[in-house]
Structure formats: structure tokens, C-alpha cells
């Protein structure tokens, strides 16, 4: 008797328990029977399976049922005398044959459900009558043969391999009723001795294929495992081998076929058991509810026989076994997220560039607006001036005075009078421009300067003018022009320039941070690849992904807080620990054991601290529990942190095999562990102190103290 416990969606309540006997036709390591049993157990809660599910094995693949059935009947009759099960589930034909012969004697009156039966419905009913019902195997020989014809257009001969077992007889009867759409020679190799079978297989032509049914017990006495016979066939035949059950796949011996899954058989018969216990009566057989076969292919075998192209061309719905996973298969979500981030950054940079172009365009418009001037009379937007260059007489309009807040008067009569209003910093430029007009070096005059208003404040003014009259020698006699208040425009221009400078600084900071992060990623990858015992790509990629996540979590924190300069320590550590739990798996408890200090760290401290915590926790999960713990102990990794007036302390401890300080120094000096080398580098970067101790209870405690000047 075997008790089987498994987790799964509850089918039957645990109170009161039901006694259910699963009578397995084969031995415990026969995968088909074990898959059916597992399918039944999947439908029970753990407690119900542990208390109520009984399993007996008839071992008919290795023993002749004629010889073993009487012995089994006597043993089971004695074993279950006075404690009959409430329901029997017969797994495969031999178990049902046993019950047809011995049920009344061994299990009188006990109803029976069956699964994995290779007979017609009518034949089964004639055998069992009204005391049993169940699931018939819908073995799809026809679908598997059609699959072989589809993948092998030149196929002329199909060789069927079978032994001398009862199961083989039943399957041959089903196979003989199969018809194909095109002519195909079917050759039966039944119950041949191994040497003769090898010779026949080695003579097969390239236009042949094999349909393997079973080769376990041969009448000459040889006995093979359920995969041993298939391996013998595969090694001695150069043509593809097809099967109709999933348990024969996975070892590279068979290409595949339209197969049945034993677990589906178990699920179906378990649902019938639920109906029985709900109603008290055996349910009626429902062929529509029988599990159906599906196309399942073994990738290495398909590739070996160069059938990948044919599979792709067929466009059929295929389930794969042992198909190598690409980086896209493993990290599809992470790569998609990275692409979204990159596209978002490109969009942001594009919008920023467009904004800069708009700013430059506005700046150009502002310049053109400043150069655009006209002469206006009183009441216009600009004040008018008229300069008698020869006699240095200057006339300004009332509007000119009003723009500066002065009352109209005659106190501005010469250029020197107007120069007294010019800001000292602008005076040299204004004086030089006036001198240029006097010397005939300039025909037009345009200058921005600050002029003192009546209230003592300075406002930006735009003076524009041109020489209107000259003497025969070309000496300027008269110039006229305008004064325009451009204070608002200049202020806007200064604001725009300041905004543009701020955006330039932000863009440089973005590039700087991305450059630093990419350099850090490159450095970590170089260190990984320099290790003598280089790990496989999946492990390398997972470690690198966790380190990148530590940096990404920092930027996520910066995105969610009000300031980009400081990172909350507690939230950052909790985010990292939550993600590290996924890396370590459910078998290792990763937790924060105490309240973390509510302090903020600057970016240059938070990033190496996050990487340091990532390395300590992942290193503990990977190496601390290499040796098995006592049954009562659960692997644990604890993270703690506290702050005092002088420093911030982070501590990572585990209850694993332990790491001494001497071992740590040896690993770092000899660069035997990238993780510890990275830990040592990060501690130095933080100007911190690292201590490794072993608690009395065992394990390792790593403490890192960061000086107060490194945090805020």
C-alpha cells in the first residue's frame, strides 16, 4: 500500500475521508501509470490524499498476469479483509481484467472506475457489466500516421514495433482498423528477439518510419524498461520513430506523435469519482468527456532527423518538449519593458529637441522683432528722436519722455544729456555707437541699452535710427530714429535663455547618469566573463538582471519621490528585498526582520548600497544552503538596518553553512567569486567597514557600517 499526497484544487472534502484504492496495472516507475495516478491525486487536497488514497501495483509489465494474478488476489484479499475501500480506480487494462476475474472474491460489491483502457466501449461493458464505468483511451493511431505522412512526403513503409503483452494485443486490434488517405505499406514486427529486431531495423530504407507501440517483455525472456525498448529501437534505426503516448517522449529517442497524456486520464476519472461521491451512484459514460490526443514533438529528435522545416511548413499546432529557450523566451517581459523604456527615452529626447528648436525659433523671431522699427508720430508705440549731428542738437518727442516716466520738457537737448540716463555698464557701447555715426563709419544705428526712469529703475530700450542727410563729402548731417520699450521682451529673452540652460543641464545629467549606469553594467559583465569557471548564460543573465534591477529600483524611487536628489532608504531596501524573494525562491525565506531607519540617502550612496545589498542576499541564497539543513530548520536570509549618530548600518544574516572572514579574504584576493569581489569594491566605494561573524546558532552575519558623512 502506498499513500500519495499532493497539492491541487480540492475535489473531495477532507471530512469525512473517503477510502479510494487506485489499482495500477504496472510497477511504480512506469511513467504512464504514474501520470494517471498523479492526475487523480491532483484533484485531491493534500490531507485527503494522505489519509484516503491507497495505491497497489500489479506489476504486469514484468510478470505474466496468468502467473501473478492469483498471488496478487490472495495478498489483496488478506490485506483488505474487513477494510474494503469505498471506490476502486483501475488504471489500464490489466487492472480491469484483474477485477473482472477477482472482484467478487477480493472486493465484493465495491464499485469501480477505470482509466487508460485500450478497448472499444462495447467490449468493456461486456467485460464488467454494471459495476464499472470510466474513461476509454482514444489512442489516435490514425492521427499519428497522418502526421508521419505529413512530415515525411516520401514515406512508403511504416514499421510497427510491439511485444507479447496484453496491452500490445489490444493496441494492435485498434491499429488494424486504421485507414490512411494514401497507400502505405504497414509492416508488423511483433515479439521479435532483440538481436533479430536490431537486424531488421538496420535494414530499413530511408523511405521508412517506425511506429513504436511497446517492447517491454519478450516471449524469449528478455525484459526492458518502458524506455529501454524504445532506446533499443532508436539506436538501431536511422529513420524517425513515432509514438502515441507522451511518457515515451523526452529522451530524444522518438520524434513524437499525436499523443495521449496519462495525467489527463487521471483528471477525467477523478472527476467521475467526484460525481460518484456526490450522487452515490456511478455516473454514465460520456465519450465526449474522454481526453483527446494532441501533437507533441521532441525538439532534439525532430532536429536530428531534419524535420524542423517540415514542421514549420505544416503550420500545425505543436507542443514542444526539450525545445531550447532563447533569451527572448526567458526574458520576454524584461526585454519588452526595456524596449518600452528605450522608446520612451527616445520620445522624451525627441520632444526635448523639438522644444529646443521652438525656443531657437522664438529667439530668432524676437531678434527680428527687435530689429523691426519704424518712425512714428506722437501717440505711437515708440518715441522719436531727431539728431542734428553737425551741431549736436537732439530733439526727443513727448512719447520718448513718457516711456521713461518723465514729464515732457526741454532738458534733453544734446546727445550728452541722453547719455546721462544710460546704465553705466551700457554707456561704453552707446558712446561707441554714437561715435561711429559721427565718423561716417555707420549708416544705421541699432542698440539695446538700459536707461534710468523717473523712479530710479532701469528699463531696457531699443534705439534704432539711420543717417538721413550727408554733406557732399559724406559727413553725416542728420540722423533720425526711435526709442522702443523692449524691457518685457528682454526679460522674456533672459527667462528663455535661463530655461534653455536648465534644460541643457538636465539633458547632460541624464546622459551622465545613463553613462555611469551603463559603465557599471559593463564592468559587472566583464568581471563575470573573466571568471575561470564561467557559468552558463542563463545564470549570468539572471545575476546581471538582478544587479540592473537594483539600479532600476533606485531610479523608480527617484521617479516617485518629490526630489531627485534623495532616496528614502527604507522604501528602497523593501523594494529590493521583495524582488530578491523571487530570485531565491519559495524554499528560502528572505525577510526584513526589523523596522528600517527613516532616512534619505543621496544618489551616489543609494546606488552602490543597493548593489551591495543585492550581492549579499543573492550570494547567501546561492551558496549558504549548499549543504542540507536539518529537517526542522528552514533556510532563512534576514535583512536589518539601523542608524546611530555616527553611521548607518546594514546587516544581512543567514542560517546556512557559514562564511568566515578568512574565506572571504581568500575569495576576494584570488578573485574566486565575482559577488564577493563586487561586495569588497562597493564597501570601499562607500568608505564603509565590513564585518563577517558567525552567530552561536550557526550561519553567517555580514555587517556593513557606512560613515555618517555618506548619508543625510
Within a domain: 131: yes
Contacts of 262 (CB under 8 A, 6+ apart): 31, 32, 33, 34, 35, 36, 38, 39, 116, 245, 246, 247
Q: Does the predicted TM-score (pTM) go above 0.75?
A: no
Claim to verify: residue 71 and residue 7 sit in the same structural domain = yes
Q: For residue 305, what pLDDT is reported? A: 92
Claim to verify: residue 106 and residue 213 sit in the same structural domain = no
Q: What is the CATH number of the domain that holds 442?
A: 3.30.450.20
Q: For residue 424, what pLDDT is reported? A: 92
Within a domain: 595: yes
Claim to verify: residue 89 and residue 166 sit in the same structural domain = no
Claim to verify: residue 29 and residue 90 sit in the same structural domain = yes
Beta-sheet pairing, 589-592 with 636-643: parallel
Claim to verify: residue 547 and residue 642 sit in the same structural domain = yes
Claim to verify: residue 429 and residue 544 sit in the same structural domain = no
Q: For residue 130, what pLDDT is reported? A: 87
Q: For residue 321, what pLDDT is reported? A: 87
Within a domain: 519: no
Claim to verify: residue 210 and residue 154 sit in the same structural domain = yes
Claim to verify: residue 629 and residue 688 sit in the same structural domain = yes
Claim to verify: residue 566 and residue 439 sit in the same structural domain = no
Distance spanning both ends of the chain, measured CA to CA: 67
Q: For residue 507, what pLDDT is reported? A: 57
Q: For residue 691, what pLDDT is reported? A: 92
Report the range of poorest mean pLDDT among 25-29, 427-431, 669-673. Answer: 669-673
- The pLDDT-based confidence of 610 (bands split at 50, 70, 90) is confident
Q: For residue 366, what pLDDT is reported? A: 67
Q: For residue 681, what pLDDT is reported? A: 87
Show the cell assigned to 334.
524584461
Judge whether residue 372 has pLDDT over 80.
Answer: no
Average pLDDT over residues 379-404: 82
Of 452, 485, 518, which residue constitutes the final position of a domain? 485
Judge whether residue 314 has pLDDT over 60.
Answer: yes
Q: What is the pLDDT of residues 522-548, one digit of tens each?
A: 566 566 555 545 555 555 566 666 667
Neighbours of 173 (CB within 10 A): 13
Q: Please give the tally of structural domains in the chain.
A: 4
Within a domain: 494: no
Percent of the chain exceeding pLDDT 70 equals 82
Contacts of 550 (CB under 8 A, 6+ apart): 576, 607, 610, 611, 613, 614
Within a domain: 438: yes
Find which of 334-348, 381-395, 662-676 is predicted with most confidence, using mean pLDDT: 334-348
Within a domain: 114: yes
CA atoms of 90 and 103, how far apart (whole Å): 11
Report the range of poorest mean pLDDT among 84-93, 299-308, 542-551. Answer: 542-551
- The pLDDT-based confidence of 377 (bands split at 50, 70, 90) is very low
Judge whether residue 434 has pLDDT over 70.
Answer: yes
The beta-carbon contacts of 228-236 under 8 Å, at least 24 apart in sequence, are 229/161, 229/163, 230/254, 232/194, 232/197, 232/198, 233/161, 233/197, 233/201, 236/197, 236/198, 236/201, 236/202
Q: For residue 712, what pLDDT is reported? A: 42
Claim to verify: residue 64 and residue 84 sit in the same structural domain = yes
Q: What is the pLDDT of residues 29-71, one digit of tens each?
A: 888 888 898 888 888 777 766 677 899 999 988 888 999 999 9
Of 428, 457, 485, which residue constitutes the final position of a domain? 485
Claim to verify: residue 234 and residue 103 sit in the same structural domain = no
Q: For residue 385, what pLDDT is reported? A: 86
Q: Give the domain extent around 31.
A: 2-136
Report the range of poorest mean pLDDT among 23-32, 98-107, 621-630. Answer: 621-630
Q: What is the CATH number of the domain that holds 54?
A: 3.40.50.2300
Q: Are 43 and 270 in contact (CB under 8 A)?
A: yes
Q: What is the pLDDT of residues 245-281, one digit of tens each?
A: 888 898 889 999 999 998 999 999 999 998 898 888 8
Judge whether residue 513 has pLDDT over 90.
Answer: no
Within a domain: 338: no
| Comparison of pLDDT for 317 and 553, the residue scoring more | 317
Q: For residue 3, what pLDDT is reported? A: 40
Q: Are 351 and 344 in contact (CB under 8 A)?
A: no
Q: For residue 219, what pLDDT is reported? A: 84
CA atoms of 259 and 138, how far apart (whole Å): 10
Q: Are 216 and 203 in contact (CB under 8 A)?
A: no
- The pLDDT-based confidence of 6 (bands split at 50, 70, 90) is very low
Of 84, 113, 136, which residue constitutes the final position of a domain? 136
Q: Are 11 and 44 in contact (CB under 8 A)?
A: yes
Q: Are 48 and 17 in contact (CB under 8 A)?
A: yes
Claim to verify: residue 677 and residue 540 sit in the same structural domain = yes
Q: What is the CATH number of the domain that holds 577?
A: 3.30.565.10
Average pLDDT over residues 185-206: 91
Which among 118, 94, 157, 134 is positioned nearest to 244, based on CA atoms? 118
CA atoms of 209 and 94, how far apart (whole Å): 29
Within a domain: 265: no
Mean pLDDT of all residues in the chain? 82
Amino acid at each position: 500500500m502506498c499513500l500519495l499526497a499532493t497539492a491541487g484544487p480540492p475535489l473531495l472534502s477532507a471530512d469525512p475521508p473517503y477510502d479510494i484504492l487506485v489499482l495500477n496495472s504496472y510497477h511504480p516507475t512506469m511513467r504512464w501509470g504514474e501520470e494517471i495516478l498523479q492526475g487523480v491525486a491532483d484533484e485531491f487536497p493534500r490531507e485527503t490524499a494522505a489519509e484516503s488514497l491507497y495505491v497497489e501495483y500489479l506489476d504486469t509489465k514484468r510478470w505474466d498476469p496468468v502467473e501473478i494474478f492469483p498471488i496478487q488476489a490472495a495478498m489483496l484479499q488478506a490485506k483488505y479483509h474487513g477494510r474494503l475501500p469505498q471506490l476502486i480506480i483501475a488504471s489500464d487494462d490489466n487492472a480491469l481484467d484483474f477485477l473482472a476475474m477477482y472482484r467478487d472474491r477480493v472486493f465484493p460489491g465495491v464499485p469501480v472506475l477505470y482509466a487508460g483502457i485500450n478497448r472499444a466501449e462495447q467490449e468493456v461493458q461486456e467485460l464488467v457489466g454494471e459495476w464499472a464505468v470510466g474513461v476509454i483511451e482514444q489512442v489516435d493511431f490514425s492521427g499519428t500516421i497522418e502526421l508521419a505522412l505529413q512530415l515525411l512526403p516520401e514515406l512508403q513503409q511504416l514499421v510497427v514495433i510491439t511485444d507479447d503483452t496484453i496491452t500490445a494485443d489490444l493496441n494492435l486490434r485498434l491499429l488494424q482498423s486504421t485507414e490512411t488517405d494514401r497507400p502505405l505499406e504497414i509492416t508488423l514486427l511483433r515479439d521479435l528477439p532483440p538481436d533479430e529486431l536490431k537486424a531488421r531495423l538496420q535494414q530499413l530504407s530511408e523511405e521508412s518510419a517506425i511506429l513504436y507501440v511497446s517492447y517491454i517483455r519478450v516471449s524469449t525472456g528478455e525484459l526492458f524498461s518502458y524506455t529501454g525498448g524504445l532506446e533499443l529501437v532508436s539506436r538501431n534505426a536511422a529513420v524517425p520513430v513515432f509514438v502515441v503516448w507522451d511518457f515515451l517522449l523526452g529522451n530524444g529517442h522518438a520524434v513524437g506523435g499525436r499523443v495521449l497524456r496519462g495525467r489527463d486520464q487521471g483528471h477525467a476519472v477523478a472527476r467521475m469519482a467526484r460525481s460518484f461521491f456526490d450522487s452515490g451512484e456511478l455516473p454514465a459514460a460520456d465519450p465526449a468527456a474522454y481526453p483527446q490526443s494532441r501533437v507533441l514533438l521532441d525538439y532534439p529528435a525532430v532536429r536530428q532527423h531534419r524535420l524542423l522545416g517540415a514542421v514549420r511548413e505544416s503550420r500545425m499546432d505543436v507542443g514542444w518538449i526539450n525545445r531550447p529557450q532563447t533569451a527572448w523566451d526567458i526574458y520576454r517581459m524584461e526585454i519588452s519593458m526595456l524596449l518600452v523604456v528605450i522608446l520612451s527615452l527616445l520620445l522624451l529626447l525627441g520632444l526635448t529637441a523639438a522644444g529646443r528648436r521652438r525656443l531657437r525659433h522664438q529667439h530668432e523671431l524676437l531678434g527680428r522683432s527687435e530689429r523691426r522699427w519704424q518712425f512714428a508720430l506722437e501717440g505711437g508705440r515708440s518715441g522719436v528722436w531727431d539728431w542734428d549731428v553737425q551741431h549736436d542738437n537732439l530733439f526727443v518727442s513727448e512719447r520718448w519722455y513718457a516711456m521713461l516716466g518723465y514729464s515732457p520738457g526741454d532738458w534733453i537737448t544734446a546727445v550728452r544729456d541722453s547719455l546721462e540716463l544710460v546704465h553705466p555698464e551700457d554707456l561704453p557701447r552707446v558712446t561707441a555707437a554714437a561715435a561711429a555715426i559721427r565718423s561716417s563709419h555707420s549708416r544705421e544705428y541699432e542698440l539695446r541699452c538700459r536707461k534710468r526712469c523717473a523712479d530710479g529703475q532701469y528699463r531696457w530700450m531699443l534705439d534704432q535710427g539711420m543717417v538721413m542727410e550727408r554733406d557732399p563729402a559724406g559727413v553725416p548731417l542728420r540722423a533720425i530714429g526711435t526709442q522702443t520699450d523692449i524691457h518685457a521682451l528682454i526679460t522674456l529673452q533672459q527667462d528663455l535663455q535661463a530655461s534653455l540652460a536648465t534644460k541643457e543641464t538636465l539633458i547632460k545629467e541624464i546622459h551622465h547618469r545613463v553613462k555611469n549606469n551603463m559603465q557599471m553594467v559593463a564592468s559587472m559583465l566583464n568581471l563575470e566573463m573573466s571568471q575561470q569557471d564561467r557559468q552558463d548564460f542563463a545564470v549570468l543573465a539572471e545575476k546581471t538582471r538582478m544587479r540592473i534591477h537594483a539600479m532600476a529600483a533606485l531610479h523608480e524611487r527617484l521617479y516617485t519621490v518629490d526630489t531627485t536628489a534623495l532616496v528614502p532608504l527604507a522604501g528602497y531596501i523593501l523594494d529590493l528585498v521583495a524582488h530578491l524573494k523571487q530570485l531565491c525562491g519559495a524554499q528560502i525565506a528572505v525577510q526584513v526582520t526589523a523596522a528600517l531607519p527613516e532616512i534619505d540617502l543621496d544618489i551616489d550612496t543609494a546606488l552602490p548600497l543597493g548593489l551591495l545589498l543585492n550581492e549579499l542576499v543573492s550570494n547567501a541564497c546561492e551558496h549558504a544552503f549548499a549543504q542540507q539543513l536539518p529537517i526542522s530548520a528552514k533556510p532563512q536570509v534576514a535583512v536589518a538596518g539601523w542608524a546611530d549618530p555616527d553611521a548607518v548600518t546594514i546587516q544581512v544574516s543567514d542560517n546556512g553553512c557559514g562564511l568566515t572572514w578568512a574565506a572571504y579574504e581568500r575569495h576576494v584576493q584570488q578573485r574566486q567569486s565575482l559577488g564577493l569581489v563586487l561586495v569588497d569594491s562597493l564597501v570601499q566605494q562607500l568608505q564603509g567597514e565590513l564585518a563577517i561573524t558567525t552567530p552561536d546558532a550557526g550561519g553567517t552575519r555580514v555587517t556593513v557600517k557606512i560613515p555618517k558623512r555618506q548619508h543625510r
